[in-house]
Amino acid sequence: MTESYPAARTALLFVDPYNDFLSEGGKVWPRLKGVAEKVGLLDNLRAVVATARAAGIRVFIVPHRRWEPGDLESWQHPNPYQKNAARTQVFARGSWGGEWHPDFGPQPGDIVVKEHWASSGFANTDLDMLLKQHDIARVIVIGLIANTCIECTSRFAVELGYHVTLVKDATAAFSEEAMRAAHEINGPTFAHAIVTTQELVDALSAR
């Protein structure tokens, strides 16, 4: 692995670290669990976050909109994922499922971005502005889901001029086919680097 990650110009984007996604009893966890456990998702997320912090890389939490009563009711074009989230009240504000997974909540010095309504952590949020204010040029993207929010956020980052690294076992999806699409078919068309957790840890630890 030849990529370099200068701490002052690199950010870790952790997308949607909610209980509903990452904890037993979460509303979406049963659909992710098979793939998540196969790739060692939770341990890999812990390893990436800990190594990034130790390397002095700032963590940006990039959260999805937490559902509230009335969301989408007057919208003209809610998408299928938004409709399902409203129906099941995924990440409902004030609920346990809409709280941070206990291992991945913001720490002092972290930045919590405004919540995104659809799949991109950039669209209609302050993420780009916050990255620019911190002189960030490179982003490492982890979290959920590989073929939706991770891919969309990463594509948007490339369009805005950032260097993007995907960590293929620090994410999960509803199927192995979706993971393959994210990392073998779609990812190589936009990402500057697609690595494993161990490869990233080694690169950051060698700095």
Q: How many CB atoms lie within 10 A of CB 124?
A: 13
| Arch. (CATH architecture) of 7-205 | 3-Layer(aba) Sandwich (3.40)
Contact 154, 170 (CB under 8 A): no
Looking up tokens 């999806």 gives 173
The predicted structure's pLDDT at residue 207: 64
The predicted structure's pLDDT at residue 81: 85
At 173, the pLDDT band (50, 70, 90 cuts) reads very high
What distance in Å separates the CA atoms of residue 109 and residue 43, rounded to the nearest whole number? 22
The pLDDT > 70 percentage for the chain reads 99
User: Which has the minimum average pLDDT: 2-11, 67-76, 108-117, 135-144?
Assistant: 67-76
What distance in Å separates the CA atoms of residue 89 and residue 33, rounded to the nearest whole number? 19
At 1, the pLDDT band (50, 70, 90 cuts) reads low
Is the pLDDT at 5 greater than 80, yes or no? yes
Q: How many CB atoms lie within 10 A of CB 148?
A: 20
User: Is 84 or 119 the better-scoring residue by pLDDT?
Assistant: 119
pTM of the model: 0.96
Spans of all domains in the chain: 7-205
Is the pLDDT at 197 greater than 80, yes or no? yes
